């Protein structure tokens, strides 16, 4: 691939990325006031989707846990408990997810 094709590919990716970020705000904002207000439908999605996505993430993470053989599933369960404990302690989603992920990686690689 030559330099022209590379530049065209990068430009196309940049334009596509910009459009996908800009289009929802353009389509779903109300123009009644000077300040752009988000449509009630999108506000409803903003309230509903984060807990739904977190629930799907938990189900996905624990789908292979074998409750009959807890020793094989101990890293997942301990990392989950650490994630919940850190979240209840600090109430910061990023911190709890990062420490839970780090604890899982450390448990799998160095303990079990």
pLDDT, residue 25, reads 79
Question: What confidence category does residue 30 fall into, taking pLDDT thresholds of 50, 70 and 90?
Answer: low
How far is the CA of 109 from the CAs of 11, 103, 106, in angstroms?
A: 41, 10, 5
pLDDT, residue 36, reads 60
Q: Whole-angstrom Cα distance, residue 80 to residue 82?
A: 5
Q: Report the percentage of the chain scoring pLDDT > 70.
A: 91
- For the stretch 51-105, pLDDT in tens is 999 899 899 989 989 888 888 899 999 999 999 999 999 999 899 999 999 999 9
- Mean pLDDT confidence for 4-32: 87
Q: Whole-angstrom Cα distance, residue 76 to residue 104?
A: 7
- Cut 0.95: pTM above it: no
Q: What is the mean pLDDT of the chain?
A: 88
């Amino acid at each position: 691939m030559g330099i022209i094709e590379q530049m065209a590919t990068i430009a196309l990716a940049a334009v596509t990325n910009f459009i996908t970020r800009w289009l929802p705000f353009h389509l779903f904002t109300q123009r009644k006031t000077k300040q752009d207000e988000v449509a009630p439908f999108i506000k409803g999605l903003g309230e509903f989707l984060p807990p739904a996505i977190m629930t799907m993430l938990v189900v996905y993470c624990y789908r292979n846990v074998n409750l009959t053989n807890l020793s094989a599933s101990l890293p997942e369960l301990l990392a989950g408990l650490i994630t919940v404990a850190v979240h209840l302690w600090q109430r910061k989603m990023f911190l709890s997810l990062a420490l839970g992920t780090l604890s899982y990686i450390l448990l799998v690689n160095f303990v079990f």
